[in-house]
Amino acid sequence: MAQIDEMRLVVRVARMYYEWDIKQAAIARQLGLSQPTVSRLLQQAKEMGIIRISVSVPQGVYTDLEEQLVKQFRLRDAIVVDCSGESDERFIERQIGAAAAYYLESALRPDEVVGISSWSATLLALVDAMHPTPRKGDVRVVQILGGVGSPSAEAHAGRLTSRLADLLGGTAIFLPAPGIVGSAAAMEAITGDHYVRDAIDLFDQVTTALVGIGAIEPSKLLADSGNRFSMVELDELRAQGAVGDVLLRFFDAHGSLVDTPLNQRVISMRPEQLRAVDRSIGVAGGERKFDAILGAIRGGWVNVLVTDHLTARRLIERAG
């Protein structure tokens, strides 16, 4: 075939496919070509510059930041939310929660065991933003951080688990224990309870975990629940380099667990269990939590991050 004839065929196939929306199989039939030949001609059109494909990114969509986060921190996925012009922590929580809800609705597979933390305002925003989804097999939703606390705050912990289970058409499994107990002996006694063990025994089966990422200074919701360490204990954690927590397990700026006797008083999924979860979704943003978010993704505490665009930019700059 002469070069000009081949060029003419390449252009014709490209126009039929991209401008007239004719499928490759139909082009092949119409022109008397094989479908692999049509595919080859379309690839040739790209290489010759006849076809140039570009993606126009709408304002408020940050796929570039998401891709950089995934690459630099070896994440499974990242969702970056536009919070332009807003520094209010509650607004950021609602925006991030809504984005995480859409992600969960899209990503959840049949027969999953979904673990959800307690005492997180951002996770509460996630559940509030979710729509009921078609039942996907035998979904179970298990509480992975103790949810017993003050009566007013405890309702939030139960609501997270039960409401999410209802939305997913699944079964709720509660962890009827405090997040923090007074001693290692108390933890051993409480975790021996039949109903507590029912939840704890599911931790190794969790396929998707939803967790907040906390700064050293506890959120109002956590503080009101009574599931917080004392100021003296928090100062000790700071002195050992702690910058934040996931499931009340504290880590340093590099993401390494700060191993203290306090860990023997926490009733939640253990760090090694969380790191083994197929999809562990950290939902957090805002300036107050920046160091904690950075430590959490450095240490592999979560492999999916949902955050705001200002935090995402800072994380990438810090990594650089």
Q: Over the stretch 280-308, which tens digit does the pLDDT of each residue have?
A: 999 999 999 999 999 999 999 999 999 99
DSSP state of 145: B
The pLDDT of residue 84 is 73
Backbone angles phi, psi at 229, to 5 degrees: -80, 160
Which pLDDT value is given to residue 89?
Answer: 84
For residue 55, name the pLDDT band (cuts at 50, 70, 90): low
Residue 41's identity, in one-letter code, is L
Read off the tokens for 85. Answer: 């012009």
49 has a pLDDT exceeding 90: no
Which structural domains are found in the chain, ordered by start? 3-47 (1.10.10.60), 63-319 (3.40.50.1360)
Using CA atoms, how far residue 115 sits from 9, 34, 83, 204, in Å, is: 56, 50, 27, 10
* Residue 58 in this model has a pLDDT that exceeds 90: no
Closest CA to 139 of 174, 121, 164, 160: 164
Reported as a single tens digit per residue, the pLDDT across 234-268 is 999 999 999 999 999 999 999 999 999 999 999 99
Model pTM score: 0.82
Q: Residue 306's beta-bridge partner residues?
A: 79, 283
User: How many residues belong to the chain?
Assistant: 320
Residue 217's pLDDT is 85
Measured CA to CA, the distance from residue 132 to residue 130 in angstroms comes to 7
Mean pLDDT of 68-85: 91
Lowest mean pLDDT among 7-16, 31-40, 132-141, 218-227: 218-227
Lowest mean pLDDT segment, chosen from 44-48, 169-173, 216-220: 216-220
What pLDDT was estimated at residue 265?
93
Tokens of 166: 């209802």
pLDDT for res 155: 62
In 3D space, the residue among 254, 234, 259, 255 whose CA is nearest the CA of residue 246 turns out to be 255
Query: How many CB atoms are closer than 10 A to CB 259?
Result: 12
In this structure, what token pair is assigned to residue 293?
């978010």
- Percent of the chain residues past pLDDT 90, beyond the cut: 67
Does the pLDDT of residue 2 top 50, yes or no? Answer: no
Q: Can you give the pLDDT at residue 51?
A: 86
Find the radius of gyration of the CA atoms of the chain.
25
Q: Is the pLDDT of residue 4 over 80?
A: no
Q: What is the mean pLDDT of the chain?
A: 89
The pLDDT value recorded for residue 90 is 87
- DSSP bridge pairs for 212: 283
Alpha-carbon torsion (180, 148, 220, 158), positive or negative: positive
pLDDT-derived band at 1 (thresholds 50, 70, 90) equals very low
pLDDT of residue 151: 63
> Residue 154 pLDDT more than 90?
no
Q: What is the DSSP string of 28-56?
A: HHHHT--HHHHHHHHHHHHHTTSS-----
Q: How many CA atoms lie within 13 A of 100 on its CB side?
A: 33
